[in-house]
């Protein structure tokens, strides 16, 4: 795909996104999350600083989101939790997208026994409920953030692989691919230079929605106590404290829960907007 064509497609997609209010709302939510993570990165506040004398203080001007049972600022921990969620979301989706692209490209381009082998492996992976598969794997590993990211990535690549395979099956007999073959282009050049750039639209949508799924999975694992471990703040493990003090300190559950809800909603809205912009069949 030439640079001028890429620029033209970007302009078209950007124009469609600007006309989609829900997509703009989603993009705004995602932007706010990046700002929160940036603030945490440059902040000198310690999210693990304990002050028992100020435990379970309700939201106020001095403590906008209140304090938890150890006197730690909920707002500061929320900001650091945003950084953890971004890291988990993007690294996990990066791993799953890379695996899906490689396996889907091989299956769609070569076909035959390679396609059959990859697709049967995909079918086997899809037979297991993803969340319970992650729980089973985490049970044998240390519950660290890196293990969480790797496990989520290694158990969520199947959808990308199927999307890429379908696109390759549709594109490999197109005239521009046949012309490149006639000119002597190698298989790797055909896959990565000619076919893959034209097959990335559905993958971009899937990756955007996948970030939301990864954040939700990490939050659930942390809430169960097998995800990000204290004192590292995560929206999921903050909910554990909120569950224990729900009757007397509502803010410990409400603010992390709303953060998870709004963030996942933002990525879903943005993903749907990108899908609408990239798929001409959905345009009026």
Position 210 scores a pLDDT of: 92
CATH (domain of 207): 1.10.3720.10
State the residue range of the domain holding 131: 3-282
Amino acid 2: pLDDT = 47
Task: Reduce the secondary structure of the chain to three states and give it as a string.
Answer: CCHHHHHHHHHHHHHHHHCCHHHHHHHHHHHHHHHHHHHHHHCCCCCCCCCHHHCCCCCCCCCCCCECCCCCEHHHHHHHHHHHHHHHHHHHHHHHHHHHHHHHHHHHHHCHHHHHHHHHHHHHHHHCCHHHHHHHHHCCCCCCHHHHHHHHHHCCCHHHHHHHHHHHHHHCCCHHHHHHHHCCCCHHHHHHHHHHHHHCHHHHHHHHHHHHHHHHHHHHHHHCCCCCCCCCCCHHHHHHHHHHCCCCCCHHHHHHHHHHHHHHHHHHHHHHHHHHHHCHHHCC
Tens digits of residue pLDDT in 205-261: 899 999 999 999 989 888 888 888 888 888 988 888 888 887 788 899 899 999 999
76-85, 142-151, 171-180, 244-253 — most confident range:
76-85
Average pLDDT for the chain: 85
Rounded Cα gap, residues 243 and 228, in angstroms: 17
Read off the pLDDT of residues 186-200 as tens digits, 9 standing for 90 and up.
888 888 888 888 888
Domain count, the chain: 1
**pLDDT tens-digit readout, 126-167:** 888 878 888 887 778 777 788 889 889 998 999 999 999 999
pLDDT at 284 over 50: no
């Amino acid at each position: 795909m030439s640079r001028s064509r890429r620029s033209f497609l970007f302009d078209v997609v950007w124009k469609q996104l600007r006309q989609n209010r829900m997509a703009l709302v989603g993009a705004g939510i995602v932007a706010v999350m990046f700002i929160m993570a940036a603030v945490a990165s440059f902040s000198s506040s310690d999210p693990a600083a304990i002050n028992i004398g100020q435990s379970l203080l309700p939201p106020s001007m001095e403590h906008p989101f209140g304090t938890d049972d150890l006197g730690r600022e909920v707002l500061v921990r929320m900001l650091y939790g945003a950084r953890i969620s971004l890291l988990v979301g993007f690294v996990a989706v990066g791993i799953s997208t890379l695996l899906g692209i490689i396996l889907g490209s091989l299956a769609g381009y070569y076909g035959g026994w390679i396609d059959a082998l990859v697709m049967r492996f995909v079918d086997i992976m899809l037979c297991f409920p993803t969340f319970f598969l992650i729980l089973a794997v985490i049970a044998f590993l240390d519950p660290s953030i890196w293990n969480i990211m790797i496990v989520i990535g290694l158990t969520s690549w199947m959808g990308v692989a199927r999307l890429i395979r379908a696109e390759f099956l549709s594109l490999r007999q197109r005239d521009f691919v046949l012309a490149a073959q006639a000119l002597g282009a190698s298989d790797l050049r055909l896959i990565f230079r000619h076919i893959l750039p034209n097959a990335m639209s559905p993958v971009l949508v899937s990756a955007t929605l996948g970030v939301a799924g990864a954040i939700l999975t990490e939050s659930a694992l942390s809430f169960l106590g097998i995800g990000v471990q204290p004192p590292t703040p995560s929206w999921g493990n903050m909910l554990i404290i909120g569950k224990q003090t729900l009757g007397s300190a509502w803010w410990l559950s409400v603010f992390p829960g709303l953060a998870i809800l709004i963030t996942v909603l933002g990525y879903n809205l943005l993903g749907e907007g990108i899908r609408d912009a990239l798929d001409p069949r959905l345009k009026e």
